[in-house]
Amino acid sequence: MFSAGRYSDGCARGRANNLAIRSRAVAADLQRGLVRAAYLTVYDDARLVTLDLPTFGASEPPAVGTRGKVNGLSDESRRRLMILLHTLKRDAANPAFVTLTFPNSRIPTPRQSKPLLAKLFKRWRRRCPQLCAVWRLEAHPARSAALGMAVSHFHLLVWGSWIDREQLSRDWAEVVDAPEFEKHLAVGTKVETIRSFRGVCFYAGKYISKVSPVDLGSDAGRVWGIFNREAMDIAACRTFKLTTEQTIAAVREVRRILAERKIETEWMPRAIFVDSPADFLARLQL
């Protein structure tokens, strides 16, 4: 897996943390002193390597920028989501893939749906404190004009020792106060078992990080988030300040990975998803 780090034309290309440098010119710029050094961060037990190329004269790692108002899933938001998933330890337990829907007679707006999800999370925290999840709010077109323009639902990747379909269905039906309670018990939730990290990437790409087929509206706010982040099995990381020579070598290694995977991108990527960060370091002799 690889994140090309592309951004829409409306993004500010001058942000220090996401410096857009054409990959074909990086080595020459380094040699001319336009870029002094890179910071390489490696998540040893996960699948993520990040390469920050600071602006001229920078002596410290780039600072995290201030985010604006969140509404929908931007390119930057999608990138952060995929980076999060690739910081999970390689030997972490595989999650369950959960879908939560609302009864047709009581469909909330995107803004109204998130407090309902928070109520479910409160039950989870009481019942199983080690349970954690990544959630995504999405909408699909209404099957009937009577239902309005869009129907909200949630997709979740859930980690932890407890995920009982029967109990989950009952909790969710109670939270949404389904009028047809027994019917919603049967159709309101769906739980699938993910058997490998490849499966995590599949569900993340197909459901969690895709653009919603229906506009959620200007007041949707955040469309993904994390429940109980402290319980997530995140790998520890190390950061290296590279010399100019090491920076050139790192850029060349990223370009080699791009070529091997037949990925074409105009911009130098920041996040690289690899099977073995240790091998990446070895090739740079770090």
Structure-derived torsion over alpha carbons of residues 131, 136, 141, 147, reported in degrees to the nearest 10: 60
Report the DSSP beta bridge partners of residue 139: 152
Q: What is the CA radius of gyration of the chain?
A: 21
Predicted confidence at residue 143, as pLDDT, reads 58
Give the CATH number of domain 93-231; options: 3.30.230, 2.60.120, 3.40.50, 3.30.70: 3.30.70
pLDDT on residue 248: 83
Distance CA(50)–CA(88), nearest Å, equals 14
Domain boundaries defined on the chain: 16-66+236-283, 93-231
Name residue, tokens 């490998």.
196
* Cα within 13 Å of Cα(230), Cβ side: 3
When pLDDT is cut at 50, 70 and 90, the band that residue 118 belongs to is: very high
Least confident of 123-132, 167-176, 214-223: 214-223
pTM: 0.76
User: Residues of the chain with pLDDT > 90: what percent?
Assistant: 26
| Residue 136 parent element (H or E) | strand 132-141
Kindly give, in sequence order, each residue whose CB lies less than 8 Å from that of residue 68, ignoring residues fewer than 6 positions away.
Answer: none
User: How many CB atoms are closer than 10 A to CB 203?
Assistant: 18
